[in-house]
């Protein structure tokens, strides 16, 4: 990926037109000084009134009318060509910004869950919000750089026409200046790279400040320590690295601005003592050098922006390298299976913490999940329940072993189809403001009736495919997530500590009425729970320890559930 490639792939014809216009405006810029010098006399250095054309334009008396009209024409052409070129690239850059972000969106959406977890949300957000903007901002300078380069080349060619010795001296001086300019620029770029790396850590610390505000407010000491040990160091690291990098680059840029003036001084005070040059030539040379000081400074000033864009581009490319695409093919939803069997399934985390540390793994797991059955998975913290849940929902691929639905083993061609038959609410679930998994239009009345049943109708309404608000308590948000899952009407439901944030009424409703109703509808229900009071509601109790199933208790399959008709909320709405 490179700057020009981004634009060329998007709109090659428009980019070519923008480049041509930019180059032509550079040619027009380069013609300005020769045109002005051509009307100067060698004797006085003033505009010649002898043998010159006079005319009147808008009541103004104009000398050298033909040259003046050419001058005006060049200025108008520069205004038109450069503006049009910049407008074209600006509009393309906005399209590229959207395309590049959407490419990252789809990359993230189609990446394995473990890869996303490994990269971290903060780095992903920093890349999308900051890096893409810097890349496009750097690429958008193509027109200015091209115009400036053509202007500089044209003026140097004119300088060669005026005096070849001066041209050689100026070229050597510019080369020396650019080389000495690049040394501090490289040092400054090194610090900007460090600042960008520190920015990822700062995003993570800011995330902790926002999402951990409840915990921090409970203890002023904890809050103070968080600032001192995490947030402030990350903030200062970004600040200090940016300060150093920007300071060095700013000094380098100012030095670059003086290169042309230093060359003028060298020509005026040194060169004239060693080479024969007339006053007319010297004046013309000085005018040319003054004129090219702008383009030289512009090119040097663009260097920090290109450096930042290059750093951002490397970040995006590295992101693509660490979040590969899942190899699975899209497939129709598999809804006619009756049981899910885990046969010698194991899973190992790819990352390892410290040398000689045992790498956490789960399995081998041998388990059968039947539709029309409630399975509880229990175990202590760190026993592997959450990892097992992500295996059961097909988010984590098995390191070895097989997932088998009835007699069909899961592979790359059918995994998506089976995944479509699963709904899950994890402890770190995300609540969307609309129902995204529904292929057909959902009745607003049905959704609002569920909101009433879950006692959310006073705060939330469903209209035009969207919920009115998500500003709810933790327990209410989980009830909203449950409503969305129930409307999906899938074949397997997985609940990871769903009832942990519920009041006793809804906790009882969940275990005693909702789960049995899902069972009654022929759903496979998996519940990760610590609520031992309700373990008797399970048909199967799976105990997991140290990543392995230590025991499976089969409950009475003929157990009768007593439904409270006033509390049962699902039958009327989902059947």
Residue 328 lies in a domain: no
Residue 333 lies in a domain: no
Long-range CB contacts for residues 433-437, cutoff 8 Å, separation at least 24 = 433/466, 433/467, 433/470, 434/465, 434/466, 434/467, 435/465, 435/484, 435/487, 437/484, 437/488
Is the pLDDT at 391 greater than 60? The verdict is yes
Average pLDDT, the chain: 80
Same domain, 249 and 395: no
Residue 562 lies in a domain: yes
Quick one: pLDDT band at residue 566, thresholds 50, 70, 90?
very low
Same domain, 349 and 472: yes
Residue 329 lies in a domain: no
Same domain, 157 and 122: yes
On the question of a cis peptide bond just before residue 66, with omega within 30 degrees of 0, the verdict is: no
* Alpha helix segments (H runs only) across 212-278: 213-218, 220-226, 232-269
Residues 174 and 64: their CA atoms lie apart, in Å, by: 35
Residues 412 and 333: their CA atoms lie apart, in Å, by: 14
Same domain, 294 and 346: no
Is the pLDDT at 294 greater than 60? The verdict is yes
Sign of the alpha-carbon torsion through 500, 505, 508, 512: negative
Residues 325 and 30: their CA atoms lie apart, in Å, by: 50
Nearest to 481 by CA among 427, 537, 422: 427
Residues 311 and 323: their CA atoms lie apart, in Å, by: 19
Write the pLDDT tens digit of every residue in 314-353: 878 888 888 888 888 888 888 888 999 999 999 887 655 4
Contact by Cβ (8 Å): 537, 515:
yes
Same domain, 351 and 297: no
Same domain, 357 and 316: no
Same domain, 203 and 246: yes
Quick one: pLDDT band at residue 574, thresholds 50, 70, 90?
very low
Residue 555 lies in a domain: yes
Q: What is the pTM of this model?
A: 0.67
Residue 472 is part of a domain; what is its CATH number?
A: 3.40.50.300
Is the pLDDT at 394 greater than 50? The verdict is yes
Write the pLDDT tens digit of every residue in 231-290: 888 888 988 898 898 888 888 878 877 777 787 787 778 777 777 777 777 778 888 887
Q: Higher model confidence: residue 434 or residue 342?
A: 342
Same domain, 313 and 347: no
Write the pLDDT tens digit of every residue in 161-195: 888 888 888 888 878 877 887 788 888 888 888 88
Q: Which residues contact 426 (CB under 8 A, 6 or more apart)?
A: 386, 389, 496
Contact by Cβ (8 Å): 481, 451:
no
Same domain, 411 and 269: no
Is the pLDDT at 419 greater than 60? The verdict is yes
What is the reported pLDDT for 251?
84
Residue 327 lies in a domain: no
Residue 288 lies in a domain: yes
Write the pLDDT tens digit of every residue in 42-99: 444 444 444 455 566 666 667 677 777 888 888 899 889 888 888 888 888 788 778 8
Write the pLDDT tens digit of every residue in 5-37: 777 777 788 888 888 888 888 888 888 888 877
Residue 307 exposed, middle or buried by CB count within 10 Å (0-12, 13-18, 19+): buried
What is the reported pLDDT for 492?
93
Say how many domains are in the chain: 2
Q: Which of residues 288, 322, 356 is at a domain's end?
A: 322
Same domain, 213 and 360: no
Is the pLDDT at 227 greater than 80? The verdict is yes
Q: Which of residues 322, 347, 382 is at a domain's end?
A: 322
- Angstrom distances, CA of residue 413 to CA of 153, 328, 402, 423, 524: 58, 6, 14, 20, 23
**Residue 143: HSE in the Cβ half-sphere, 13 Å Cα cutoff:** 28
Is the pLDDT at 516 greater than 60? The verdict is yes
- Angstrom distances, CA of residue 572 to CA of 450, 453, 568, 575: 10, 11, 9, 6
How many C-beta neighbours within 10 Å does residue 430 have? 7
Is the pLDDT at 356 greater than 50? The verdict is no
How many C-beta neighbours within 10 Å does residue 551 have? 10
Q: Which of residues 322, 356, 386 is at a domain's end?
A: 322
Residue 56 is part of a domain; what is its CATH number?
A: 1.20.1560.10
Residues 157 and 161: their CA atoms lie apart, in Å, by: 6
What is the reported pLDDT for 405?
92
What is the reported pLDDT for 487?
86
Residues 407 and 237: their CA atoms lie apart, in Å, by: 57
What is the reported pLDDT for 218?
66
Q: Which residues contact 527 (CB under 8 A, 6 or more apart)?
A: 374, 375, 376, 377, 494, 495, 498, 515, 538
Same domain, 180 and 151: yes
Nearest to 201 by CA among 222, 169, 230, 165: 230
Same domain, 288 and 424: no
Residue 331 lies in a domain: no
Residues 328 and 36: their CA atoms lie apart, in Å, by: 68
Domain span at residue 533?
339-574
């Amino acid at each position: 990926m490179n700057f020009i490639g981004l634009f060329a792939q998007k709109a090659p014809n428009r980019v070519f037109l923008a480049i041509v216009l930019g180059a032509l405006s550079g040619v027009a810029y380069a013609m300005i000084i020769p045109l002005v010098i051509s009307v100067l006399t060698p004797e006085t250095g003033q505009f010649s009134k002898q043998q010159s054309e006079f005319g009147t334009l808008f009541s103004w008396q104009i000398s050298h009318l033909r040259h003046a009209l050419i001058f005006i024409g060049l200025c108008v052409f520069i205004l038109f060509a450069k503006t049009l070129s910049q407008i074209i690239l600006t509009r393309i850059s906005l399209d590229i910004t959207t395309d590049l972000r959407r490419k990252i969106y789809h990359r993230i959406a189609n990446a394995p869950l473990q890869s996303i977890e490994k990269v971290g949300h903060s780095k992903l957000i920093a890349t999308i919000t900051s890096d893409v903007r810097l890349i496009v901002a750097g690429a958008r300078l193509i027109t200015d750089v091209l115009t400036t380069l053509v202007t500089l080349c044209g003026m140097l060619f004119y300088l060669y026409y005026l005096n070849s010795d001066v041209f050689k001296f100026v070229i050597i001086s510019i080369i020396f200046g650019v080389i000495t300019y690049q040394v501090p620029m490289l040092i400054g770029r090194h610090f900007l790279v460090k600042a960008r790396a520190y920015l990822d850590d700062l995003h993570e610390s800011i995330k902790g400040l926002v999402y951990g505000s409840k915990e921090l407010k409970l203890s002023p000491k904890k809050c103070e320590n968080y600032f001192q040990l995490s947030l402030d160091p990350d903030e200062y690291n970004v600040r200090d690295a940016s300060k150093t990098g920007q300071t060095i680059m700013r000094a380098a840029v100012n030095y670059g601005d003086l290169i042309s003036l230093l060359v003028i001084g060298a020509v005026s005070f040194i060169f004239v003592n060693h080479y024969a040059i007339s006053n007319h030539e010297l004046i013309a040379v000085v005018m040319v050098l003054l004129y090219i000081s702008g383009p030289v400074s512009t090119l040097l000033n663009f260097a920090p922006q290109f450096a930042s864009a290059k750093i951002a581009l490397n970040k995006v490319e590295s992101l693509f390298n660490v979040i590969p695409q899942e190899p699975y093919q899209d497939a129709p939803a598999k809804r006619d299976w009756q049981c899910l069997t885990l046969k010698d399934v194991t899973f190992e985390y790819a990352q390892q913490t410290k040398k000689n540390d045992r790498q956490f793994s789960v399995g081998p797991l041998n388990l059968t999940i039947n539709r029309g059955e409630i399975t509880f998975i229990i175990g202590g913290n760190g026993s592997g329940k959450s990892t097992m849940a992500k295996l059961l929902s097909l988010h984590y691929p098995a390191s070895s072993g097989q997932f088998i639905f009835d007699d069909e083993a899961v592979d790359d061609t059918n995994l998506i189809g089976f995944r479509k038959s699963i709904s899950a609410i994890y402890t770190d679930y995300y609540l969307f403001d609309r129902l995204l998994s529904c292929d057909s239009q959902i009745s607003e009345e049905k959704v609002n009736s569920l909101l009433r049943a879950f006692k959310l109708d006073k705060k939330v309404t469903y209209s035009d495919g969207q919920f009115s608000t998500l500003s709810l308590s933790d327990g209410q948000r989980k009830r909203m997530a449950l409503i969305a899952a129930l409307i999906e009407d899938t074949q397997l439901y997985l609940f990871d500590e769903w009832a942990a944030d519920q009041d006793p009424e809804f906790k009882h409703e969940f275990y005693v009425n909702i789960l049995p109703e899902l069972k009654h509808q022929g759903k496979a229900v998996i519940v990760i729970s610590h609520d031992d009071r309700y373990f008797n509601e399970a048909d199967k109790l799976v105990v997991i320890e140290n990543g392995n199933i230590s025991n499976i208790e089969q409950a009475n399959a003929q157990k009768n559930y007593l439904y409270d008709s006033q509390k049962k909320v699902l039958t009327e709405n989902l059947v």
